[in-house]
Structure 1
Amino acid sequence: MTVLAKLQRSPFLDDLTPDDRRVSRVLLTLPLGVVAALLTAVIAGLLVFLVFLFGAGLGEARLMDALRGRVPLGGDVMMVMFVLALLAATNGGMAAAFTAVAARLHHRRLRSYVTAAPRFRWRLTLLGLALFAAGIGPLLLLSVALDPKTATITAPILTISPSLEGRAAYAVGAVVLLLLAAAAEELVFRGWMLKVLGAYTRSPWVLMTVSAAAFSAVHFDPNLDANLIRAAMGVGLAWSVLRLGGIEFAIGAHAANNILILLFLQPMSLKPEPPHAFPLEVLILAPLILAGYVAMAEIAARWTPLRRWSQVAVA
């Protein structure tokens, strides 16, 4: 059986039934899910704001300035943690609320949007983190080295705090919160979306391309090169979900991408990226990134010791 045939017969899509093809349920999911997601985001964001206002002792003026993008975040651990916690809480709340509405309307368990295995495979998430650091990490470093705008940036982990304790707190907070943020995006753009699309087509290319295009578009980035990189990443992550039967590996690889950037490549910023000229090297870098994601998924799927340790086979 070819790899594409295995993607087409992915265990992640095995539980789909004719009921999942009811257009009315999908159309109802969108408005109800969005309303539930927005309400949850407001509540989660308010809770984070109050925790940092009263628990961490940050002033209201500083927090509001951070939300408006007026405070440079590159050298303030607590402000970076506030922004990361806010993003993780709001994105996580929105994703959970939206998929909970979808699960309710489609009469399925929320876990079905996460994995085909009996339970969440944490080892597979750790494997995604590790393989990304070893495989895709060097490509990210290369892309930064080739970009004259970022080649001179000092690693944020070295500038965020003068003390070792502050740097350690920044690293731990970034890893935990970026894992949550990545899980939120994977739950919607790979978990829910692949299920919805899989009810109408089993073509791997349609499933991966549409989910990747939506993933890239939702970032509202005006730069074509950034959208191409995100699209390549989206196709690769969708490949891993179909190949391994769940979003666990994708969460780890997605989080590793963001962790590597925030710790070693670019400081935290809420300001949108300004438009810039299209760098031609992206035409080479994007296919390499896609190939890297596919290779990571295939290593996890084919290498017997890793299959057993990460519980790929239980899906």
Structure 2
Amino acid sequence: MTEPDLNPAGLPDKLPDEAWPADEPPSDDTNDGAGNDTGADPGDARLWLVPTPVGNLGDITLRALAVLRGADAVACEDTRRTGALLTHLGIRKPLVRLDAHTMNRAPQVLERHPRLAYVSDAGTPGISDPGAELVQAALAADVPVEVLPGATALIPALVLSGLPAGRFTFEGFLPRSGRERRERLAAVAAREETSVLYESPHRLHATLQDLAAACGETRPASVTRELSKRFEETARGTLAELAAHFAAGVRGEIVLVLGGRDRAEAAPQTDFAALARTLAEAGHSVRDIREALQRQGLRKNDAYTLALQITGSASD
């Protein structure tokens, strides 16, 4: 097996590809093994959300190790990834798959494993992953919940950006397309505090272009990728500069940090006529167009008048 890459501190950045099993284990409790308990006593029934490293495996905490060793089982999004991590840490536990497709069985899993630890693929569970649904299921079943502090991508990327961090809004992933995406882009553009977004590598360039169109090309921003790994990068500049920088594509996990709108800067103006025309050409009714215009800030009577005008001209 190839040795993991080492960072300057001598800690492995990530598991090598050869560490991943060739076949994913079944999605239920088939990976039973010795508990490897080191004296940690998590107590009675409880759900722990355990942060795992976003890159550098040295970022696991001592408390996380104790909880993982003392839990009855470890629930996770991907049993292959989590199995490789636990193997690296010297921990053998039953693994239970709980992802967006299997979260409906959370009550049964909580009943079968009273002391359950949950990890996401990386970072703190419950942020842009199904962990939030598991917390709701535990609370509904009167199972106490503990969230361990630990690794997350958004805070380091926010601080690395150099942008104001006293107040910020975490956006997570933007909607991929359609009206909902346009509305979220408009909301981000109008916000005065810093915004933090997650994005996939293959959609980064398009999102930077959309943000430049919504916020203006000179809005300051930063893009951090491969956080805590050997090839970590933070690029800072305007949205136009960043879009050009990443035009050829990029790899790795992405956190995009966007500066807020300057108070002296005029709020982005919506081209109501263009929006109404786009909706009319897509076959939307007068009522749908009116409501969309109202959501963008146009008064009801003006929105209705414009919707009538545009639909009338579109039908000519």
TM-score normalised by L of structure 2:
0.22
From the two aligned structures, give the one with the greater strand fraction.
2
- Structure ID, larger Rg: 2
From the two aligned structures, give the one with the greater helix fraction.
1
